[in-house]
Structure formats: C-alpha cells, structure tokens
Amino acid sequence: MVLKTPEEYLESIKRPVNLYLFGEKIQDFWNHPIIKPSINTVKKIYELAQDPNYQEIMTARSHLTGEIINRFTHIHQSTEDLIKKVNMLRLLGQHTACCFQRCVGFDAANALYSVTFEMDKKFGTDYHERFKKYWSEVQAQDLMVGGAMTDPKGDRSKRPIEQPNPDAYLHVVEDSEDGIVVRGAKIHQTGFLNSHRAIIMPTLALRPGEEKYAVSFGVDTNEKGIIMIYGRQSCDTRKLEKNPLDIGNYKYGGQEIFVIFDDVFVPKEHVFMNGEIEFSGELVNRFAGFHRQSYGGCKVGVGDVLIGATALAAEFNGVQNASHVRDKLIEMTHLNETLFSCGIACSSLGFPRQAGNYEMNMLLANVCKQNVTRFPYEIARLAEDIAGGLICTMPSEADLRSNEIGPLLEKYLSTCENLSPEDRYKILRFIENLTMGVASVSYRTESMHGAGSPQAQRIMIYRESKLGEKKQFAKDILDID
C-alpha cells in the first residue's frame, strides 16, 4: 500500500514552477499566505486516507496493480465505486467547506479510460495501454492529478479553425515520432498548481479540419513551457492580513489557475488522443457526465457546513426556536439532500463500458448538475436571511481587539449568555465567506459554471430524454399508429 501522508504530499510539491500572482513571479509558493489554505485542503485528503475510520471510503483496491490506492486515483469498477465516490466528496466538503481540487483529474481519468479503449478498437492505436501505464504510475506514487478542459475560446461565434488567434484553443503545433508540441491555454484550472500532473482534454466536439485541436495528454505541471497565473477571488487579500477572524474559513480554500502552454513538448507515451476528432465529443461528454455526478457530493458537503453554520448563527441570536427559522433550515436541508439524491441516483444506475470501467447514468448526472446551478443559490440566500446583515457590515477584528473601541464592540455584539463576541465573529465571517467571499467562488459561482454552465446540461438532458420512446407510450395507450 502506497499512500502519502499529508507531510509527504507537501514535500513532494516543493519544486520550481513558473507561477505569477499580482504581477510578480512567485518562489516557494507553498509558503504564500493566499495559496497555503488551498494546500491545506489537499493535505486533508491525504490525512483522511490515512485515517482507519475513513479508509473504506477514501481508498480502493486498484484493478491495475492490486494495491490499495487513494480513491481519487481509482478507475470505477462497479456502481458501488460510483456511490462511494459521491459519499467521499460529501465527506471532504464537510471537512473543508470549500473545493478540494481533485475531482477534475479523477473524472478525466475515468472518461479517458473507456474512450482510449474504444479508439484503439476502431483505429488499432495503443492509447489505452499508454494510459494504463501512465495511470499505474499515478497510483503507485499516490500523485495528485489535475484536469484541464476549458479553453479561452476567443470569438465564440467562430469554430477553432476560424479564430483570428489560432491559439484561442489549445492545439498541436509540431508532431513527430517522439511526441508532440502544444500551444494554447486552459482557464479556470482547479488545483493545477497543487497537482503533480494534469490530464489535458479538448473542450468541445471537433469537426473535419480541426484534427490538431483533438488532443489529450498527460503532463507534469512544472513542465518547461507551462506558465501559471493565479486567479483572483473575492476577499482573497484578507489572507494577507494577520487577523484570522476576518478571513472566515481561515484553514482551507480552493484554487483556480490560468494555465498557458507555450510550446510544451509531450512525449509520445503520454499522448492519449491526437487527431481522432470523432472521439473528441465523446471524451467531452463522458468527462462532463462524471464531473456533473461529482457535484452531487462536493457541493452537498459544503452545503452541510453552511446549514450548520446558519443554525449556529440562529442559536447565537437566540432565535433558533422561531418557527420561520426552523422552516428555512428545513428548506435548506431539503434542497441539499435533493442534490445528494441525484448524485446517488445517477451512480446507482451506472453501467459498464466496453473497457470494463463503470460510468454513471448520463441523464441523471445532468439533472443533478442542473439542480446544482440553482439550489446552492437558494441555500445561500436563506443562510444570509437567517444570519442577518451583520455578515457584510461587521467591523474588523482589529477593531474588536482595539483597547479604545474593542470593549464597546464586545458590549454591543454580545447576545446570548456565555457566548463570546469572538465566536459570533467566527460564525458570521464564515457565512460571509461561504456566501459572498472566497469560498463562494467554489460554492455558488462554481455551482453555476463548473462542469458546464446550465445550458450545457439542458442540451444533454434533451439528448438523453428519449422523447421518441415517451411519445410511443402515449400512442400505445391511445391506439395511435
């Protein structure tokens, strides 16, 4: 069994990378106060995988090597695996209250596993064997693997080959017996900096003439030619302050990276698609299905924490027994469990692909994500309703600690007996963080746009809706030929 400890993971990412933040090149990124919370989040994954209480859900036995591995490197072998994935993501959301950055690479690997098998079957290529060897290395070293799909896209009314800027979509610029050279960018890349490796995929179904854009490969995140620019998030500079009460979730956080591929060489053995346009759309769809399933776990776990924080805010205000407050907490729970139900449902109705790995039910995975584009917004609204306006007008921690005005703030911010104003600060800033601050990027905004914006799910729901079969039901009942 090869499972890294949190400390071993931290040491393993201490390597030179080409990273920029606020216009400056960053050295020793693992010590930067804005970045450290996102690393703490990943360390929590490695910590829970070491905990005997969670090993059943956090680990699995590899069908490639026979060894016990981190579940984030597992290729699903049953519907039970699919269900455990959703439960694992909920567990991690409950422990971190933010995006834990590993779902994209996990979902990309499971999509590539079946797509490479089917490409080889049709074209006689060896992509599947390449990928299995590559992924066995990932499992054996307990590596964190990110995933990258979204391109900048340039003028979205134009196809990739019609763009004034040919690099608006990542593409192959050189192709030889040894490998390929790629150029372009991938944006909104969750956890890319904190990953050892990344799987790169095309961003849409491609057409004849667009073969150079139909490319998928694995790459080390510190490979020569990769430039990373750290994405800004609301209230991110609060992490630079020395006042943890003002941060909200001061332990954990997410991470989004703008990644530029400036003529990056990829060896042949790490290339998993190169020009097979007819499989590009299938890879996109399968990845999206797996990732939309994921949201039935991760967003639910964060929702659990937000519901708990909101209940505490009500208790701190002395209104926990008010009927309208209880009703709002019930509604938050109802919405959250509905999301979880969708994640479990699409997993329970999973099926095996030709390659032997299991895939979720595509229709219900898209229904799951469609609900995720809506329900977290209502959950957040109800949290803000119960918490009150103080979540966005409260003075700073420095004011609370001030010798002159601190005692006055303590006097007027005191509510229930035996409750310190400091604890009230913590819970209100935490709700602010989850609904409006840094964590809201991974809870609300990512709920909308992650794994495809709402229209992407509606397109897939229409495709998977079997309207012809449903029309036939009505015809049969009514004796219509």
Helix count (H) and strand count (E) of the chain? 17, 14
> How is the chain split among helix, strand and coil, in percent rounded to 5?
55, 15, 30
Give me the active site residues, please.
Answer: 99, 103, 190, 256, 291, 295, 298, 446
Pairing of strands 358-359, 351-352: antiparallel
CA–CA gap between residue 439 and residue 249 (Å, rounded): 8
Q: C-alpha distances in angstroms, 84 versus 60, 339, 346?
A: 10, 16, 12
Distance of CA 109 to the CA centre of its chain: 14
CA–CA gap between residue 367 and residue 364 (Å, rounded): 5
Query: Minimal CA–CA distance to 303: which of 106, 444, 453, 454?
Result: 444
What count of Cα atoms within 13 Å lies in the side-chain half-sphere of residue 124?
A: 0
CA–CA gap between residue 197 and residue 144 (Å, rounded): 7
Q: In what order do the strands lie in the sheet with 179-190?
A: 24-25, 19-21, 226-230, 256-267, 179-190, 171-175
Which residue has tokens 């590559």? Answer: 134
CA–CA gap between residue 136 and residue 408 (Å, rounded): 61
CA–CA gap between residue 277 and residue 255 (Å, rounded): 31
